[in-house]
Structure 1
Amino acid sequence: MKILSLFRNKRLAWDPDTFPLPWDTGRPSIYRFIKDNGDDAELPDKAIYFSKTEISWVGGAVDHVVQPDSGPARAKAWGIYSALKAALARPSADSLKLLYDTMTQHAAIEYIDSLAGFSAWELDSGKLQDLMRWLASNAPDREVVKAAIALLGSKRNPENIGLFRSFSRHDEFALFANVALTNTLDDPEMEIWEVAKHLNGWGKIDAVSRLSNTKNPDIKSWLLRHGCANSIMHEYLAYTCATAGNLIEALSAETIDEELLSGASDIIDALFAGGPAEDMFDYPDGAEAVRLFVSHMGRDGLSLAQCAALVRIAEFLAVEESDWDRQPGWSPQARQAILHHVSAILQRQPLAALADPWLLTDDHFRFYHAITLARHLDMDIWQIYLNRQLAGHNSWYFLMRTDDPERIDRVLDLARSQLAFDDVATGPQLEIIGHGKKYETHAAFDYIVQDLRRFPGKGWDFVEASLQSPLIRNRNMALKALEAWGRQNWPVDAEARLSAACEIEPHPDVKAAIGRLLAGQDIRREDG
């Protein structure tokens, strides 16, 4: 055993191609997998990676959602730096294994900025580049690859451009590769534009955001026509495309092409939708852009998306918002003039014929447009959502948006046939949110129980199961429903069930709320 130990830890010559692999040799290189299988292929480490979380994130999502805390980030980075320093000094099987295992324990985005700062200390820059290039090219775990790309990109080396380019074409790695390309190239704009044109998810969002200061007329034109559309949320890119592409100037032309009209439709629609990024009230030229856009729509034969955009413009302008004063141009007279123009255009369009073919589609965006037109036409869309739920689409929220008790009975009967109550009623815990497939049924109960408060006595079995949910949110929903019902509408066993729930409730605020409900007092508290 001593001989084996000495052999395993002996000093190896500095040649990464001869290093012992610190991972299971049967697992494929992510870099080669991407090159062989296409840029949109599911990565081969998927099963291992998502076994550590209950959420199956789409490519690149984790790196845009995680907000690292500086304290823990530095601690994680220091642990990896120590292992990295040891591996560079003595690249043995044990030191490489320790480094690799340490790097796989955390998302690279959580520590990489701190690690890049530490790595400038006392480390052999050439060896660091060699080791990171070896890991980026051969490692089978995505977080190790990301960290390797970032450390490679922290030093300007044109030899790495091909590697960065390959990774930039995959949503999971685009953020890291884009930073590396930006650090490496004198003028990375054209390269980043190629990334934006190639991707459709988080990688596109990152790339387009990096084009916000472009002066290139071709890129500006592309931003207005194709830059906004993506598979995550158009809202993330609408403001960037409108401002960087100079939407006002483009729409000021006497005539515009169909691609610009379609792209402008996406941009304006997303700016009105608001959400996680800048919206119409952050856009100084918003009122003029909408006026110009509508002026180009005064013809027959508009598309489904264009008509839906006009409907949503009209819906939004009809709402009295305090935010109208945030940007100039949104006077009541200006809004009324646009509304009048939109109404005249829509009256000439065959809205029902445009919507009907897409009311049962699996295409999210086309269904969204179709349902917008159906709503504008005052169509009864409840049955559409019922059909979608029967087909497996999650439509509980929309199905509960009815005042018809008979329809609510049908929703509850369908939910009883589709949802597993035992998945929810597993016992109260201190969980607050609950994401991922494990909590899909809990989310469905949320949508159902939150509206049961409007129907006293209906769906007690849903309320009872929610009282036993591990999610605080579910339990609070159940309490609010019971409070809204009034004690006179409680089932005969409701008080006993509440008393039993109070006995085992682990959260002090929820426990107090149950006590107040039993005592006939107001339970109002902010949800946990």
Structure 2
Amino acid sequence: MTNSNSISFPAYPFSHSGDSTPAWTQGTGIFDYVKENIDAEGFFTKEILPDKPAATGELDFQPMLGSFDPYLMSDLSADSTQQREIRAENFSRQIHTVLQAFLEDPTPVHAADFYMKAATLPCILYYDTVIETLSQEPIPACLKDLTQEWLYKAVNREAVKLAIVITGLCLLNEDNLTLCWQLKKDLLLLARCEEFTCFVVYALKLSHQLENSDLWDLMTHTRGWGRLGAIEACEFNLIKERKWLLHNAFLQTIDYPAMALMVFNKLNIMDLLDHEHLQEDTFQDLTTLILHYLIYLTEEPEGPKANIDLWELLEAYLHHAEEHHTDLVTASGLTNLREYLKQWTENQYWDYLTSNQLHLLIGKIETLLLSTDWLPQIKAHLLDKDGNANLDTIHMGFALGLDLHKELWAILKKDPLQTELYGFLLDPKHKRMAGMAAKFASAHADLYLEQEEPCLPLLDTLQYFPGTCGDLVEKALVSIYDSCRSLALQVLEAWPESTWPKDAQLALQKARTMTTSPLQKLQIDVLLKKRTMEYQDFLDVIRESKNK
């Protein structure tokens, strides 16, 4: 890498449309798109970007911003860790080949070749090897100029990601303080879009310019994968910062099982529990944290663990519960905690607590709960202040053995759109009520599918009741709403094939012609026994759809 001549940008021989402009300027620039769609509160307001993700080709398929990179880095995207690593090595070789060609001869042709690879290969799978290579000597001016051009003008997200991380390396040795300030400011602007947050955090850490205030700015202006990345990088030193994390860690738009583990690693929870008194809201936030951690331990038994003794944690927590257990919201959390501990006992899950410890903890919780007559309070709070089903309170009532079927059935008949109630009314232990609820649901199938939202809670519930409301599931498969179709597919995945509705195969075939989502096409092919959920089959579905 000896050629450090700065590249100029004359007429470009390569472009998508055959004209003389660079390929990376043909379309809506990512940077300007992000900048123009940040609202007055500082949030990026769009759910998609103007380009298409690299792995989806020309299909109209947009995963949640920031979600596809974690997927590609997980073993879910490959048959094995080894296969994922082999794929990453292959992408790394491809990008290094065009990068080296550009550095040796920084012509427009080589710049175009470099861009086309950067635009089509997932940056997450190779960027670290590029940084390792480039960090061995000063960044050539030609590469610095090119990647800054991409940062502001590129129309493909993967090229912008590569430009972000290389810019971070450039900032490490940049003497122009004004340029440094402007680049950092613009990187942080890009980071408001959660597709780029983690790359910006990495780039600023690489350049030693990342400050805790930058992370706080990102955490308070993102809600999903971007916030997660900022939390992971942040240090929570002040009491108000720790309180913020405890309260906001689970108020996100994504489901990340290890979030509780991250909070335990960031905060000294035992130190908090050593306080003589805890405020009600702090205790409720602790309840949420502990519940999520128990879920994580149950669902990720091979995952890393918090450096904490679970018995000591729960003992200290229940000591504080003696002060707060008469509050309905707090009691609802205690009920959920009891249910998880009972599951561990029933499943003989002794990895973290002995049988004796579990029974002692369950007994303490039940003593607290049974010291109050909850029936009047629960019946009075079956609906929240907005008239919607108060699910936490209802769940608490059922967990305490209270019979609320009559009250819930009356609510549903009065307002059929309270579809969250089916999760309680379809319980096969109450056959008569379950039968009535199933008939009621089928009779209102068309109403539920007129709009997107009403049918979703019902479909989610039906996963656990094989064969129930099969006619509604068939209709959902051919719904105009992708979300309804997606949940209907999950229902069939959860049900034994013997319980499928009689016309399920025909509905699946029709659903395949209706959907534009490669993932849904793959799910349907799996249900029809034509494919597996392997990453290669996913790519095959994309290519197949693209060629039609």
Q: Please report the TM-score for the alignment, with normalisation by the length of structure 2.
A: 0.67
CA change 1:203–1:384 in 2 (3 A) is: farther
CA deviation string 1:236-264 (max 9, x = no partner) = 32222134211121122122234423422
Flag structure 2 segments of 5+ consecutive residues without an equivalent. 13-19, 75-83, 175-179, 450-471, 513-520, 533-548
Q: Which residue of 2 aligns with 1:432?
A: none
Q: CA deviation at 1:394?
A: 9.3
Q: How does 1:381-396 map to 2 (within 5 A)?
A: 391=417
RMSD of the TM alignment (CA)?
Answer: 4.7
Q: Which residue of 2 aligns with 1:287?
A: 311
Q: CA deviation at 1:312?
A: 0.5
CA deviation string 1:440-483 (max 9, x = no partner) = 5364155268558897xx943347656998789779989xxxxx
Q: Which residue of 2 aligns with 1:347?
A: 374
Please, which of 187, 206, 216 is the counterpart of residue 229 of structure 2?
Answer: 206
Please, which of 189, 203, 210 is the counterpart of residue 180 of structure 1?
Answer: 203
CA change 1:392–1:52 in 2 (3 A) is: farther
Q: Which residue of 2 aligns with 1:252?
A: 274
In 2, Cα distance between equivalents of 1:219 and 1:299: 24
Please, which of 31, 42, 46 is the counterpart of residue 42 of structure 1?
Answer: 46
Q: Which residue of 2 aligns with 1:441?
A: 485
Please, which of 327, 343, 346 is the counterpart of residue 302 of structure 1?
Answer: 327
In 1, Cα distance between equivalents of 2:527 and 2:505: 8
CA change 1:170–1:266 in 2 (3 A) is: farther
CA change 1:448–1:66 in 2 (3 A) is: closer
CA deviation string 1:115-167 (max 9, x = no partner) = 33444578853332332222112222222111211222245246243333223
SS in 2 for 1:326: coil
CA deviation string 1:318-365 (max 9, x = no partner) = 33143344247934223312332244368398334344127965xxxx
Q: Which residue of 1 aligns with 2:392?
A: 369
SS in 1 for 2:88: helix
Q: Which residue of 2 aligns with 1:14?
A: 7
Task: Please say if 1:58 is aligned against 2:64.
Answer: yes
CA change 1:28–1:367 in 2 (3 A) is: farther
In 1, Cα distance between equivalents of 2:403 and 2:374: 14
SS in 1 for 2:27: coil
In 1, Cα distance between equivalents of 2:435 and 2:497: 12
Please, which of 321, 337, 341 is the counterpart of residue 317 of structure 1?
Answer: 341
Contact preservation (8 Å) 1:35, 1:166: yes
SS in 1 for 2:146: helix
What amino acid does structure 1 have at the position aligned with 2:146?
A: L
Number of residue pairs matched? 453
What amino acid does structure 2 have at the position aligned with 1:461?
A: D
Task: Please say if 1:461 is aligned against 2:503.
Answer: yes
In 2, Cα distance between equivalents of 1:118 and 1:251: 48
CA change 1:258–1:81 in 2 (3 A) is: same
Q: Which residue of 1 aligns with 2:364?
A: 337
What amino acid does structure 2 have at the position aligned with 1:256?
A: L
SS in 2 for 1:74: helix
After superposing the two structures, state which structure 1 stretch, 133-142 or 316-325, moved more: 316-325
SS in 2 for 1:318: helix
CA change 1:82–1:51 in 2 (3 A) is: closer
Q: Which residue of 2 aligns with 1:266?
A: 288
Q: Please report the TM-score for the alignment, with normalisation by the length of structure 1.
A: 0.69
Contact preservation (8 Å) 2:88, 2:126: yes
Q: Which residue of 2 aligns with 1:196?
A: 219
Q: Which residue of 1 aligns with 2:87?
A: 72
CA change 1:301–1:507 in 2 (3 A) is: closer
In 1, Cα distance between equivalents of 2:487 and 2:509: 14
CA change 1:397–1:217 in 2 (3 A) is: closer
SS in 2 for 1:460: coil
What amino acid does structure 2 have at the position aligned with 1:126?
A: A
Q: Which residue of 2 aligns with 1:162?
A: 185
In 1, Cα distance between equivalents of 2:140 and 2:378: 64
CA deviation string 1:34-71 (max 9, x = no partner) = 23321322167346447645753222111222127222
What amino acid does structure 1 have at the position aligned with 2:223?
A: N
The one of the two structures with greater contact order (alpha-carbon pairs below 8 A, sep at least 6) is 2
Q: CA deviation at 1:28?
A: 3.3
Q: Which residue of 2 aligns with 1:502?
A: none
CA change 1:394–1:28 in 2 (3 A) is: farther
What amino acid does structure 2 have at the position aligned with 1:166?
A: L
What amino acid does structure 2 have at the position aligned with 1:106?
A: L
CA change 1:308–1:147 in 2 (3 A) is: farther
In 2, Cα distance between equivalents of 1:476 and 1:25: 40
